[in-house]
Structure 1
Amino acid sequence: MWRHVSNILSIGIALWTSMIGSRQLASQEASTVIVSRSFIFESAPFKSCHASTIAETRDGLLAAWFGGDREGAENVGIWLSRLTENGWTDTIEVANGVQADGRRYPCWNPVLFQPKSGPLILFYKVGPRPSSWWGLMKINRDGGRTWDSPKRLPDGFLGPIKNKPIELEDGTWLCPSSTETPETPSRWQIHFELTRDGGTTWEKRSPPAGAEPLDAIQPSVLTRGDGRLVAVGRTRQRRLFFTASYDGGQTWTTVQRTTVPNPNSGIDAVTLADGRHLLVYNHTTSGRSPLNVALSRDGVNWTPVLVLEDEPGEFSYPSVIQTHDGMVHVVYTWKRQRICHVAIDPGRLDLPSEHPAEKESAATVAVEQQTRPNVVIVVTDDQGSGDLSCMGNPILWTPHLDRLAAEGVRLTDFHVAPVCTPTRGQLMTGQDALRNGARSVPAGTNMIWRSVPTMAEIFRGSGYRTGLFGKWHLGDHYPDRPMDRGFEKAIWFGGWGVSSDVEFDNDCLKIRYRDGNQVSVADRYCTDFWFDQALQWMDNCRKAKQPFFCYIATNAPHGPLWSQEKDAAPYRSRVPSQVADFFGMIANIDENMGRLENWLIDSGLRDNTIVIFMTDNGGTAGRKVFNAGLREGKGSYYDGGHRVPCFVRWPAGGIHGGREMNQPAQVQDILPTLVDLCRLNPPTSAHFDGISLGFVLRNPQASLPDRMMVVQYGGRTRAEKYDCCVIWGNWRLFKGTELYDVSRDRGQEHDVSQAHPDVVQQMRQFYDTWWASIEPRVYEYQPLIVGTDQENPVILSSNYWAGVDVDNHHRVSAAEGG
């Protein structure tokens, strides 16, 4: 219970308007947020103090810390003070490191924990150093006044290493912990210790390492209303980490970096009663000032909202709780001399609102000052609209992609082809699939007409470096390979994926790839490898001070559904096994999107890099769980087959702020948009069916011109007239006869063609004109070239047989002669 209110001290507040931290003055008064601030003691019988902890008992607040001559000195003990109506009591030593044989070791990192029922617990560590310390616990039954003798935890268990445990619904104590090895530099690894009987017996659970190895310690555990746990903490890699559990801490996702800066200093966080999460931390990558407060809705993406300290010195190792009256209490190290206590009213802390007019003006200045933005396009394979948590998926969690959607502009009515090759050809050319030549997956129709310039050729002709990493699927042979079509760097594979006709014995877990013409094998998971190579290449471009266009096209989560078990394990108990593998592949993509974001921040290129994320067609395996309210999936001309996520962000260009663009757009719009935004110089042979979205992306009040669009590809063997969808605003004309108004009928369950014959007629007339424009070449094949210096030998597969559907090796009968 909060009883004592000291003199209110005004503290400057700063709102950090982005995760990488430009400051603005806060509009609210500090005194309305900070209820009180005081030192727990003015003088004490120790020279140095650190690592405080705070808890609420039935009798009020208690705080503890370690104090002695210096951190690691033998006389360092655990000290405690209680908050009464008269203020904080005199400090008393409640634990020391004196052993039975008379030797004394320093004490470390006390953690006070008050279970829902039962006595108060004090966890702490004793030992010469963190690599060899051991865990102990003491029990108190009288509000912190007298303590039982210490009880040593079983070997291999340390208890909560710095931050408070949480009590699960079944009474289990989940203790966030970590270890540090003795070598220099030591290896850091987090784990979680669970006890179901008040500390008598213990279990340990460890999250797997992610694609980017991290040295991580001192987790703090948050709870979410959906039953998910999220742990965040410090790393040596200049960012906070996170990991999540879906089953009460039994299994955890991979340990990943967030975008929140961290100077390798302890943090703490708490889930508030209103469901928001509050973090206290140092918002810097060096030093231990300032000390900040941030808020989050998901426990991963944080917005700084308050500065507690910002003068020179050390302000660190916070501990934070919310008491039963709703107040938030923070204790922290103040220059290693004192422990400071601050009470905050969280009801007066809000996530900062956007100011579009101010940001638009700032963006205009930025665009005038900056030239030649970098461009990163990420396209995933077979990930539908429902396969993202920001789209409403109740099981799958994609926090990094959610952040991109929240920071950029989200195209909510974005359309591609219902299958992969046509989408990729439309992306590369800005032309409809039946016009550019890459009209289908098999049947020898998966190559762009050689007279049509590609996105890579246009970027390269405008002075950009160009790189492809992953799936091409627009031709495996000269002159249709990625390095023939404008990519100076191409790390790729043939066919549509790792079990396609040309890659039938490839392996997602140990990917075979081509570096230009050279075939090699990487002992690395496919998606991790594509991002590894892309990040390395982009860093080389950065060092050379050359703008780049980087195209990362993952084969995941397309089948075969070969995920890493560490990614799929959190979903095994919640969905069928195949869906768990599918979700695991997407979770790995999301992790790599986090790696990309951190590289952009670390490199200083984030603001002037256009990042586009999209998928290539509608949903597949994930539809069994969630399909975002859409009808059908991949291959279909209903919206479930071609309406997909698309997020665009360019902070320096004004494309940011978490806005939505709700008018229909299509993948054919991406290239003309980039020509506009990057001021490219396309050749005269470049003609686009799409339009630039640039003005609308950068101007929230603008709108696109009224237009109709056709979604159609070449089928499995050949294109047929009216085998399509025509889009006109909220109208969908399906195969020339069925009409749907998706503003009222998102799931396309009610055909309204009889009620709106005029709309059907107008859309059919548009389509007939469009079909006449593409029909002359719609059944034409592009000849293969055999016998060149650029490729010798040429090994052809069944995918190039014209007019038949054999892009999978299992569709070809095989036998031995004899």
Structure 2
Amino acid sequence: MKLSLCYSIFFFGWCFLSKSEAADAAPKPPNVVILLADDLGWNAVGYHNAEVKTPNIDRLCKDGVELDQFYTSPMCSPTRAGLMTGRYPIRFGCARSVIPPWRDYGVSVDEVMMPAALAAAGYGQCGAFGKWHLGHAEQKWLPLARGFTEFTGCYNGAIDYFTFEREGEVDWHHNEESIRPEGYSTTVIGDAAVNFIGKAATDEKPFLCYVPFNAPHSPFEAPESYLEKYSQIKDVKKRTYYAMITAMDDQVGRILDSIKQAGIEKNTVVWFFSDNGGVHDIKKNNAPLRGNKLTNFEGGVRTVACVRYPGVYASGKKIEQPMAFIDVLPTVMALTDHTPESAGCKPLDGVDLNPVLTGKTAELPARDLYFYHGQTGEDSETIAIHSGPWKLIVNGPSLAGDISGKHQIRLFKLAKDPNEKQELSEENPEVVERLMKKLVTFRKLQPADAIPPYDVGKKGFVAPKDWKITKK
């Protein structure tokens, strides 16, 4: 009897210890690093164009999963808003235009952003380093108010790469303090990200490191050492653009090296993509895709992209399933033991990509993808839908009003014509009608208080000293 009792105590004690040890050994959710380029063309990375020197981006793509049909908004702020919320930015009024310096507007505080969602899932430090572009006129829209624990960078887009100025004032900040750094902004961003990773890697909790580069967005400026790498290119603007990309690539390499040196490579998922396609100023920037930034052709919304998660996502694989910027948040959250809903997120438009990225399934459930902007006003908007093999692009007056003969309609069968060379609307009126109804419904999601067109309020604007924001 005593022997049986002792055995029982030993057995249950062993089970308890085994469960405790198993719990202690359970892997924590991965660290998340998101590297976001700004206006990077489809034809402006080494693995698409050997003329461009991007060995680190190429390596990340080779070691990870190449996302061959990754879609974004056709311009900056909306993509960043959708990335951070997992929702189409038209829902909260941030799709029509980017947020210019003179705009008193930001992503609604009712929207839960990625760092806040991950904090609810047990993440510790959440850093953002680079271009914010999601609202700056009031403190409630700044990074620290949206869940980030550290921020170094600019509030606006299109800052000078050497003086860090926008509208005549230095726009560079650490947390919410204005600072005056020295050097080239791309390198300064890399410095901040590398320092953050070194510190955050020692924490028991996983971290988020969001690196929205301002490169290679205009103004076209690069250090002489990088310009010399492209001395054979006679076009000054193209030479500078490529030099800016290589400078960014060097910082991508430093960030990847910092992850490896910290011993956290196997438990860190790294994303890389651009916020939209490349600008039209650079010849063949998005070749062979048609179009460029600010259009809804593939060259404006289909971007270079890849993701790496060693041992979890397949290595050296290319996935041709359509994916989008709104999918990143639900995909990241699925790697934790919390759902977006439990973290306070509103219903998401994005989907969890993990089943495809891990190889558990070959295809995602069928869905439509939408693209829209109206920076110049409601008389000249561009809106599009990618639905199955079809893509419908409509340019002209807002579809929230009456559909008239003023609209320019283009229909393409992307499955057979990815470069959008053959327009098929006249041959397929029933497809146009069906997809047009979906576009009208989507366009009507935009609230009445949505961000105004780009130039509204520009005249007479004077930037605050050192872009110090005091309004709460």
Alignment TM class, shorter chain as reference: 0.7 to 0.9
TM-score normalised to structure 1 length: 0.48
Deviation at 1:804, TM superposition (A): 5.2
- Counterpart code for 1:679: D
Cα separation, 2, equivalents of 1:607 and 1:575: 43
Residue 258 (structure 1) aligns with: none
Deviation at 1:442, TM superposition (A): 4.2
Deviation at 1:541, TM superposition (A): 1.3
Residue 410 (structure 1) aligns with: 66
Residue 406 (structure 2) aligns with: none
Residue 503 (structure 1) aligns with: 166
- Counterpart code for 2:114: M
Residue 355 (structure 2) aligns with: 695
- Counterpart code for 1:480: W
Larger helix fraction of residues: 2
Residues 1:486 and 2:143 are matched in the alignment: no
> Where do 5+ consecutive residues of structure 2 fail to align?
1-24, 396-408, 463-472
Residues 1:384 and 2:47 are matched in the alignment: no
Deviation at 1:379, TM superposition (A): 0.5
Residue 560 (structure 1) aligns with: 219
Larger strand fraction of residues: 1
Cα separation, 2, equivalents of 1:535 and 1:770: 40
After superposition, the C-alpha distances for 1:519-578 in whole angstroms (9 at most, x for unaligned) are 112222111111111111121111233310000011111111110111121212224111
Residue 366 (structure 2) aligns with: 706
Deviation at 1:499, TM superposition (A): 5.0
Equivalent pair of 1:674/1:680 in contact (CA under 8 Å): no
Select the structure with the greater relative contact order (CA < 8 A; seq sep ≥ 6): 2
After superposition, the C-alpha distances for 1:594-640 in whole angstroms (9 at most, x for unaligned) are 11121111111111100000101111267414423111201011111
Runs (4+) off by over 6 Å: none
SS at match of 1:524: coil
Cα separation, 1, equivalents of 2:450 and 2:279: 30
Cα separation, 1, equivalents of 2:301 and 2:270: 21
Cα separation, 2, equivalents of 1:482 and 1:719: 30
Cα separation, 1, equivalents of 2:90 and 2:309: 31
Residue 332 (structure 2) aligns with: 674
Larger radius of gyration: 1
Cα separation, 2, equivalents of 1:604 and 1:385: 32
Cα separation, 2, equivalents of 1:803 and 1:426: 19
Equivalent pair of 1:471/1:555 in contact (CA under 8 Å): yes
Equivalent pair of 1:470/1:553 in contact (CA under 8 Å): yes
755-764 or 632-641, larger mean C-alpha shift: 755-764
Deviation at 1:755, TM superposition (A): 2.3
Residues 1:435 and 2:91 are matched in the alignment: yes
Residue 606 (structure 1) aligns with: 265
Cα separation, 1, equivalents of 2:119 and 2:83: 16
TM-score normalised to structure 2 length: 0.82
SS at match of 2:264: coil
Deviation at 1:702, TM superposition (A): 2.1
Relative distance call for 1:468 and 1:454 in structure 2 (3 A) is: same
Percent sequence identity over aligned pairs:
29
Equivalent pair of 1:569/1:580 in contact (CA under 8 Å): no
Residue 467 (structure 1) aligns with: 127
Equivalent pair of 2:293/2:299 in contact (CA under 8 Å): yes
SS at match of 1:460: helix
SS at match of 1:627: coil
Equivalent pair of 2:28/2:206 in contact (CA under 8 Å): no
Relative distance call for 1:389 and 1:399 in structure 2 (3 A) is: same
Deviation at 1:758, TM superposition (A): 2.9
Cα separation, 2, equivalents of 1:719 and 1:415: 24
What does 1:46-445 correspond to in 2, within 5 Å? 369-391=26-48, 393-439=49-95, 440-442=97-99, 444=103
Residues 1:572 and 2:231 are matched in the alignment: yes
Relative distance call for 1:680 and 1:813 in structure 2 (3 A) is: closer
453-462 or 578-587, larger mean C-alpha shift: 453-462
Deviation at 1:436, TM superposition (A): 2.7
SS at match of 1:578: helix
Residue 424 (structure 2) aligns with: 752
Q: Over the residues paired in the alignment, what is the CA RMSD in angstroms?
A: 2.6
Deviation at 1:448, TM superposition (A): 1.1
Residues 1:547 and 2:206 are matched in the alignment: yes
- Counterpart code for 1:416: T
Residue 724 (structure 1) aligns with: 383
- Counterpart code for 2:413: D
Cα separation, 2, equivalents of 1:729 and 1:619: 25
State the number of aligned residues. 417
Cα separation, 1, equivalents of 2:255 and 2:173: 22
